[in-house]
Structure 1
Amino acid sequence: MRWTRVLISLLLLVGALALAACGTQLVQDTGSTAAQQAEALAEPKAEDAAASAAEPKLAPCNVASPASPTLINVIGWAFPVTEFYAQEFKECNQVENLKVNVQLLDSASAQEQVRLALSGGGTSPFAVVHAANTQIIEWGFAGWLMPLNDLIDQYRDKYDLDDIPQTAWNAATIDGNIYGIPAVGNTLHLMYRSDLFEKYNLAVPTTYDEVIAACEVLKEEPSIDLPFTMNLHAGWAWEIEFFHFLHALGGKYLNADNTPAFNGPEGVAALEKMKEVVDACMGPEGITYSVDDSEIGMETGRLAFVELWASRAANMDNPEKSDYVGQIGFAPAPAVQPGGPLASSAWNDFYAIPATTDVDPEIIFQVILEVTDLESQIEAAQYGIVTRQAVAESGAGGRYLPAAIETIARGVGAYPPNRAIPLVRTALGNWLPLVGTGELSPQEALDKAVEEYTAEATARGFLR
């Protein structure tokens, strides 16, 4: 069953790559209008997982009718809660003179489409773009996103925007400008087959040494392919996990003057521990597991436990996707050292408005707020972590929510809003996978990343 689903995923990926190639041509075609580009890019290309589960209750879209026909194209990537929000966006099609199209791709393809659309300087074909923490930093510093401060102040009371914690707003803020509306919270935490942990009398790991010990036991289980995976299938995935392990050991990426700090003793220890986990639990096959593969592995019982995005947890109890409904347990992310911070980060997903849109920003902003108001987020909490504090008070949310909230509270936090951080992330993503293959030692890989980062940061004026 796993390989059938993986094959389906590969076919979908091929389709997404073909769409991305087509989208590149459309955005660069100066002979077509922005509206034509938008229409071509806006057709939905992903199934809505929420539609296959229990029918969600959708809130009405209380936006005043625009004076003239208005098209709002939304682009983002698909996971359960964003698929619910996609349905909420479509509710606004009931408003006279308003049409809302939503396109959900895989995360890499969606981000590439946004970069292609916004980097050229022309009118954006998208009126709303989905952005996580790192995209806010990248696209905000690039000047591609519209500051929303004035609109937030204007609609603060009507939509009770102070119900969203300041920490979430801070993650969308650069130099005092707010570039996104917080819609989703996210982190990575443990998901495990409770039947196997009971069978082998295993406690749920609280540290990565305990993860390694559990893997040694679970290797004997004939029903699984691998005991454990964490996402290391690509350079960016290695970088995210390295961020977790490094900061859990008290390290940091950069010093105050933007000189690199990530190649010190904490960085080496972080990579050595990651390599221990790979060797004990995953091996060469496990390194190839994408986020989708790990999710499917849990849903089909071919993995014993995983460290996975909380945004995938709702699917574990979705009978349309999971063969182990009610049998998957959830726990906070492990620490690297006993008593230390949990080795996972705090993330938000935002809806942002491109600076070059030709759609009235106030109409776009109201649509976003209708999609993310309290009524909508109470329903959205069935599918993922949302951002309004009143949702938690209402008792909404899935079984995984306590584990996710504890992980966020005790984890390493978010990336700092520093323009040099994306350069660090790129350099680390280029070199850390070679530790997994054994081609470089941890120190060698970090030194290579320092060399690459230093050259790029100097060229851009971040280092003197």
Structure 2
Amino acid sequence: MTSKHVNAVAATAIATAVLAGGTAVAPAQEQIRIVSHRQPALEYYTGQMQAALPDGRVTVELMPIDRQMELASITMSSQSDAIDVVYLNDTSLKRFAANGWLEPLDELWEEYKDEYNLDDFPASVIDSVSYDGHIYSMPIMTNTELFFYRSDLFEEAGIEPPTTMEEYMAAAAQLDTPRRAGTIMSLKPVDAALNEAHWYINAIGDGWFDEEWRPIFNNEAGVEAITMMKEMTQYAPRGFTSHANDESTINLQQGLAAMGLQWFTRAAAMDNPEQSRVVGQIDWVAPPGGGARLANDGFAISKFSSADKEEMFRMLAEAASEESMREGAQYAMPPRLSVLEDEELAKQYRWYPAARRALETGKAFPAMPDFLDVGEIVTRHILQAVTGEVEVKAALDQAAAETEELLRSRDYYK
């Protein structure tokens, strides 16, 4: 029995009591049902949502991500009001928003932006929780790619951390030795390779698509970007086409690579003495050239919820407050600039200052519900290009043609 059914029964009981001459009481306020993936950070933030309203008002169901996505998809596709608030990552948010399942938050965001200091979220974060020009989710935690580098090796070589892709390549060449790769490269299909390509396409190229979703990653700038990626592989560890986050993390920890692009969530592992041989020797800056991947998770309100949407928005805003996120920083990187700039947190987590800068220069994947399907096409051809199987221009042209065919079949073009 859903909370809606419970309240309907309660209302019937109240009416019966009144008709029988009993004393009428106010009907119970409607419960708010939250469905979320289970992990420590989400347990914390859903607990903050429960604390924002009186006891018993908010129910939370935590489950594995695949089950949660299946439940949310089935419930919302049937336009049921059985779910009020749902956890979504940046990829699933685009799909749910495109399907018309989510409540736009723009008006509430504008109304409460001063009270909850919502301008504290950088533009890159707002972009990642938006679709088609509308905000659909309250950002709760973020993950961004950082540039990891061996500060001791850079100091010995007398070079500064790179700020451009050209400086990055020069440093990789200078620090590359037979026993230590100049840089990690994570090119395992699909996710890892897509993340790496996303950086090059944004830092050197013009991005993935034009305003009408026509591919532009195969234009002159895109060819230059993937050509540089191909050239950079000469400084990567052997087997880089099968390396993802785990392999690249180990290469950095074991001193087998001097630098490279890696997720914020891997930073703490560099200073773990039980796993790392380079404790205190890794440092971080924002990725050279900008444009590295930025991913944000948050909570959205169902379009079909019959609960008070303004009340739910305020509940989400309370959970995402500065105070809440300062405490939540122990579980995940908060997307608020004020928290990332907190000096005490920066002392505790050495990589936070770099993360703050990376948030301002990072870019989310294109706001396209089908981008991961595009990624399967693009990474296949990019890998052929960087390994020399196919010329870069020919590989990207073929990827663009197949991408257009896919998007045309899904009605992206008028």
Q: Residues 75 and 128 of structure 1 are in contact (CA less than 8 Å); yes or no, is this contact kept in structure 2? A: no
- For 1:428, what is the secondary structure of its paired residue? helix
In the alignment, the residues of structure 2 paired with residue 429 and residue 287 of structure 1 have an alpha-carbon distance, to the nearest angstrom, of: 11
Aligned mates of 1:428, 1:292 — CA distance in 2: 22
Q: Does 1:177 align with 2:122?
A: no
- How far is the alpha carbon of 1:179 from its aligned partner? 0.8
**Aligned partners of 1:427, 1:112: CA distance in 2, in Å?**
27
Q: 1:399 aligns with which of 339, 350, 353?
A: 350
The 3 A distance-change label for structure 1 pair 173 and 207 is closer
The 1:357–1:302 alpha-carbon spacing in structure 2 relative to 1, beyond 3 Å, is: farther
Superposition pairs of residues 409-424 of structure 1, within 5 angstroms: 409=360, 411=361, 413-415=363-365, 417=367, 424=374
For residue 118 of structure 2, what is the aligned residue in structure 1?
161
Partner of 1:239: 194
Name which of structure 1's ranges 417-426 and 291-300 shifts more when overlaid on structure 2: 417-426
- The whole-number CA distance in structure 2 between the counterparts of 1:436 and 1:236 is 16
The residue number in structure 2 matching 1:455 is: 405
Alignment CA distance shift 1:415-1:391 (3 Å): same
The offset of 1:307, in angstroms, is 1.0
Distance 1:245 1:34, change over 3 A: farther
- Alpha-carbon distance, 1:274 to partner: 0.8
- How far 1:180 moved relative to its partner? 0.6
Q: Does 1:293 align with 2:251?
A: no
Cα separation, 1, equivalents of 2:282 and 2:399: 38
Counterparts of 2:45 and 2:359 in 1: how far apart (Å)? 27
* 1:263 match: secondary structure: coil
TM-score, normalising length: structure 1: 0.68
Per-residue CA deviation, residues 347-404 of structure 1 (Å, 9 max, x unaligned), is 4333224446687766754553343211121233456542334325643443223323
Aligned mate of 2:145, from 168, 174, 188: 188
Is the alpha carbon distance of 1:297 and 1:143 closer, same or farther for their aligned partners in structure 2, counting shifts above 3 Å?
A: farther
Letter of the structure 2 residue corresponding to residue 379 of structure 1: E
Q: Quick check: 2:150–2:282 contact (8 Å CA) kept in 1?
A: yes
Contact conserved, 1:74 with 1:128, CA < 8 A, in 2?
yes
**In structure 2, distance between residues paired with 1:403 and 1:136:** 27
2:88 equivalent in structure 1: 130
Identity %: 29
User: For 2:141 and 2:44, how far apart are their aligned partners in 1?
Assistant: 15
Question: Closer, same or farther in 2 for the Cα pair 1:354/1:202, shift >3 Å?
Answer: same
Q: Distance in 1 between matches of 2:375 and 2:394?
A: 17
Alignment deviations for residues 137-159 of structure 1 (CA, whole Å, 9 cap, x no partner) = 33311224332345546655553
- 1:329-348 equivalences in 2 (<5 Å): 329-334=283-288, 341-348=289-296
The AA in structure 1 aligned to 2:86 is V
> Is 1:312–2:260 an aligned residue pair?
no
Residue deviations 1:405-440 (CA, integer Å, cap 9, x gap): 33444x464455456766644531343233344433
SS at match of 1:147: coil
Moved more, 301-310 or 213-222: 213-222
Tell whether the 8 Å contact from 1:300 to 1:322 is kept in structure 2 after alignment.
yes
1:427 aligned residue (367, 371, 377): 377
TM-score (norm 2): 0.75
Could you tell me how far 1:191 is from its partner in structure 2?
A: 1.2
Aligned-pair distance for 1:34? 8.8
Shift of 1:242: 2.4
Q: Which runs of 5 or more structure 2 residues have no equivalent in the other structure?
A: 4-27
C-alpha displacement at 1:161, in angstroms?
Answer: 3.0
User: Residues 321 and 351 of structure 1: is their aligned pair in 2 closer, same or farther, counting only changes over 3 Å?
Assistant: farther
**Are the equivalent residues in 2 in contact too, given 1:127–1:359 (CA < 8 A)?**
no
Aligned residue runs from structure 1 range 60-459, under 5 A: 67=29, 72-75=34-37, 83-90=40-47, 96-97=55-56, 98-103=58-63, 110=65, 114=69, 117-118=72-73, 121-122=77-78, 127-132=85-90, 134-149=91-106, 151-152=108-109, 156=113, 158-165=115-122, 167-198=124-155, 203-216=160-173, 218-220=175-177, 222=179, 226-283=181-238, 285-317=239-271, 322=276, 324-334=278-288, 341-355=289-303, 365-381=313-329, 384-392=332-340, 394-395=342-343, 396-397=345-346, 398-409=349-360, 411=361, 413-415=363-365, 417=367, 424-459=374-409
Q: Distance in 2 between matches of 1:127 and 1:412?
A: 27
Secondary structure, in 3 states, of the residue corresponding to 1:169? helix
Q: Cα offset for 1:128?
A: 2.3
The alignment covers a number of residue pairs equal to 381
How has the CA–CA distance of structure 1 residues 219 and 243 changed in structure 2, closer, same or farther, with 3 Å as cutoff?
Answer: closer
Distance in 2 between residues matched to 1:166 and 1:220, nearest whole Å: 40
Q: Which range is displaced more, 387-396 or 228-237?
A: 387-396
CA contact (8 A) 1:89 1:100 kept: yes
Change (3 A) 1:417 1:184: same
2:9 aligns to what? none
CA distance in 1, matches of 2:331, 2:190: 28
Q: Which has the larger radius of gyration?
A: 2
The letter for the 2-side match of 1:238 is A
Amino acid at match of 2:99: A
- Separation in structure 1 between the aligned mates of residue 272 and residue 138 of structure 2, nearest angstrom: 28
Q: CA contact under 8 A between 2:192 and 2:245: conserved in structure 1? A: no
CA 1:426/1:234 → structure 2, altered by over 3 Å: closer, same or farther?
closer
State whether residues 180 and 353 of structure 1, in contact with CA within 8 Å, keep that contact through their aligned partners in structure 2.
Answer: yes
Change (3 A) 1:297 1:363: farther
Gaps of at least 5 residues in structure 1 are 1-32, 36-65, 335-340
